[in-house]
Amino acid sequence: MKRPHRIGFVLYPQISTVNLAVSAVFEMANWKAGYPIYEITLVSERGGPVATSVGSNILTESYKRRSFDTILVAGEHNPAAAAPPGVVRYLRSAGRRGVRIASICTGTFVLAEAGLLDGRRATTHWNHARSLRERYPKVNLDVDRIFTSDGPIWTSAGMSAGIDLALALVEEDFGREMARETAKLMVVYHRRAGGQSQHSTLLDLDATSDRIQTVLAYAKRNLGKRLSMTDLADAACLSPRQFSRLFRDETGQAPAKAIELLRVESARLMMEAGRFSSEEIARKNGFGNRDRMRRSFIRAFGQPPQAIQRNMRAL
């Protein structure tokens, strides 16, 4: 039997406990395979207990004099703190040997401190993107991705995006079918492609009243229709004037702008799926034609649909 793929999961004080969920991906892959295809070891510089962000301790082994095929680096809630010098030196050495190294959430800061991201594409939690850009200007940061891979270096956005990254690693190691079956065992969608946005338009709009939430749900179901102000006001059981004022108060957006954002988000996801032509995407999302969709994409993303599609194909 072939030896398991060895993963060293690097922890350090105050790591966020949500990072540990990533290890379940490799556990489920082992379960599906029926034997250990992964061997995961929780490691730290000195070994012993490592305090987490919630105050609990996790027992680790020292990574010194250990050999791994993949090194995962956890993140913490306060990336402004200095990266552990010993961990930085360890990662720098592993990088020189060509080991596959991946970070979860703000673990990107640790990889950047080690110089592993200079000139490479990377991502991190959107809330810390500005800080990373300022501290590490050599990093080619793409905050509108949930994970990236650039050579042997992988990075993910925050929280659940680490699971998507881990499923992508399983796919690279053992194929698409193994990743798909692992995702099914975890009761998650088959991994999101790295190009999916970290943001959700419905979440960003953050409507608080039932009326506006109902309108947004209605609009989401009917993006292929015209969706006039009267249609939206009727869905809210308000006059157009009352509806417009309430919508702006709750979301900070004009109704027409919000609908456009919902449309470009839906269109981008359809492009990512790769099963529809540009004409179909424009029609199904209520743009009417490709030219109108192009103008909306430029307003929303600063680039046309064709550029986004090229970026997806390049990954």
- Structure-block tokens of residue 29: 């892959």
Going by C-alpha positions, the residue among 11, 16, 40 that lies closest to residue 26 is 40
pLDDT tens for each residue of 100-112: 999 999 999 999 9
Q: Is the pLDDT of residue 191 over 70?
A: no
Average model confidence (pLDDT) across the chain: 88
The pTM assigned to this predicted structure is 0.67
Q: Is the pLDDT of residue 49 over 90?
A: yes
Choose the weakest-confidence range: 65-74, 104-113, 267-276, 293-302. Answer: 267-276
What was the pLDDT predicted at 192?
Answer: 54
What was the pLDDT predicted at 37?
Answer: 97
SS3 content of the chain, % helix, strand, coil (to 5): 50, 15, 35
Q: Is the pLDDT of residue 205 over 90?
A: no
- List the beta bridge partners of residue 73: 10, 103
Across the range 182-201, mean pLDDT stands at 66
- List the beta bridge partners of residue 118: 139
> Which domains, ranges and CATH numbers included, belong to the chain?
5-185 (3.40.50.880), 201-313 (1.10.10.60)
Q: Distances in Å between the alpha carbon of 152 and those of 117, 169, 260?
A: 11, 11, 38
Task: Collapse the DSSP code of 237 into the 3-class scheme (helix H, G, I; strand E, B; otherwise coil) and give the result.
Answer: coil
What was the pLDDT predicted at 197?
Answer: 55
Across the range 220-240, mean pLDDT stands at 91
- Structure-block tokens of residue 294: 């192009």
Q: Helices 22-33 and 176-185 sit at what angle, rounded to 10 degrees? A: 110
CA pair distance 23, 36, nearest whole angstrom:
13
DSSP string, 285-308: TT--SHHHHHHHHHHHHSS-HHHH
pLDDT tens for each residue of 166-175: 999 999 999 9
What was the pLDDT predicted at 196?
Answer: 52
